[in-house]
Amino acid sequence: MATQWLLNIGHAVDHMFLLIFATAVTSIAADFGIARWEDLMPYGVAAFFFFGIGSLPAGRLGDHWGRRKMMTVFFFGMGASALLVSVTQTPLQMAGALALLGCFASIYHPVGIPMLVQKAVRPGLTIGINGLVGNLGVAVAAVTTGFLVKYLDWRMAFAIPGALCLLLGGAFALLATPEQGAPAKKKVSAPVVLPGVSVSKLLLVMTVAATSGSLLFNFSTNSNYEMLSERLRSILQDPARLGALLALTYSAASVAQLVVGHLIDRMPLKGLYLAVVSAQAALLALATMADGWVFYALQFLFMTAIFGAIPFTDAMIVRFVDDSMRSRVSGMRLAVSLGASSLAVWLIGPVVKQAGFATLLGVMTATALLSLLILSQLPATPAPKRQQAMADPAGKAA
């Protein structure tokens, strides 16, 4: 039980730490003598690039060296690198420290999630709960960073969470369940085989869809604070209250992952996935024309749809990939999708500076429509109970 709690908290830590910079960027730019926050955003790109690319070696080490060991490295590395960010004095120093943070952050998804679901009876629900807690980390980043910047400064917004993460690392090292050998050394189970389903095609579509989904996640979470600030400028300007509003959005939207995780265990993946992504495209298109509280309501809804799409790729990996190699498969998928989506962080500043947030929302709408097109090629698979029956007519779980 302690291992599950700490793994879920680790997901929150992973997302929270990567978004402190985006939430505090205006204050950091002022401290570094940079006139516009948009000009500082490209210095955060390396963190997201290594967050993606680092998933490949992290996944391999998780399978061959051990997931428990890698997660211990994750907690201590995240804490130490956050403290390092807090003492940087120039944009280049910050870029380097954020890159190191991204390297350690890359460990969680290909290692922590396979560790969490390796014995799960209801993997969809387990992934949904994990996603809920992870995106509560996004909410915590918004509200705690807003308050720490207002009442202390941006450096404390990195230093205090960093120190707490080191304590979590100590708790994980002491309490996490010992691992019975590296996963790659375990006997491989018989794969799930379904008529008419090409696993290679499934993995290709999943990777491309995950890339567009990661682009949407990075576009939204790294720009939402400044976007909300602009659209509510005539109503509200207090950074702490803006952070609280965004935290409310993220907290409520995170519940979508719990709902989707529950449905994944009961419904065919393709239809459910298409419905969620269709909602993304429609809501983002409406948001391009909205302002004030109407925009906030739409932001609430499109973030619910964006968060709701997150559990699908992990659920497919659990369903079709043996545990002995899940970290490597996850690492390969994440290296492509998250590495490519780091481009979103670099684009936010230039796009907003030259064309405004309406154009950024238009780009996000087009990305959601592209996802919809890609997902139409996803092989149709039956609901989990039917799938088990097909894989094992005697009724045994595959």
For residue 84, CA distances in Å to 9, 99, 159, 161, 234 come to: 22, 11, 8, 12, 37
- What pLDDT shows up at residue 342? 67
Number of domains in the chain: 1
pLDDT in tens, 372-397: 988 887 767 666 654 444 444 433 33
255 within some domain: yes
pLDDT in tens, 314-364: 777 777 676 677 777 777 777 777 666 667 767 777 777 788 888 889 989
30 within some domain: yes
Lowest mean pLDDT among 178-192, 271-285, 287-301: 178-192
37 within some domain: yes
Is the overall model pTM greater than 0.75, yes or no?
Answer: no
Most confident of the following: 49-63, 245-259, 275-289, 342-356: 275-289
Query: In which domain, by residue range, is 240 found?
Result: 2-176+197-387
Average pLDDT of the chain is: 82
191 within some domain: no
Most confident of the following: 85-99, 124-138, 181-195: 85-99
What is the Cα–Cα distance from 349 to 36, expressed in whole angstroms?
A: 9
395 within some domain: no
* Token pair of 11 as six digits: 């997901």
Q: Which amino acid is at 83?
A: L
CATH number at residue 86: 1.20.1250.20
What is the Cα–Cα distance from 267 to 381, expressed in whole angstroms?
A: 9
Residue 66 in 3-state DSSP? Answer: coil
The total number of residues shown for the chain amounts to 398
257 within some domain: yes
pLDDT in tens, 82-114: 999 999 999 999 999 999 999 999 999 889 888
The answer to whether residue 142 scores a pLDDT higher than 80 is: no
pLDDT in tens, 220-267: 887 888 888 888 887 777 777 888 888 888 888 888 888 888 888 788
398 within some domain: no
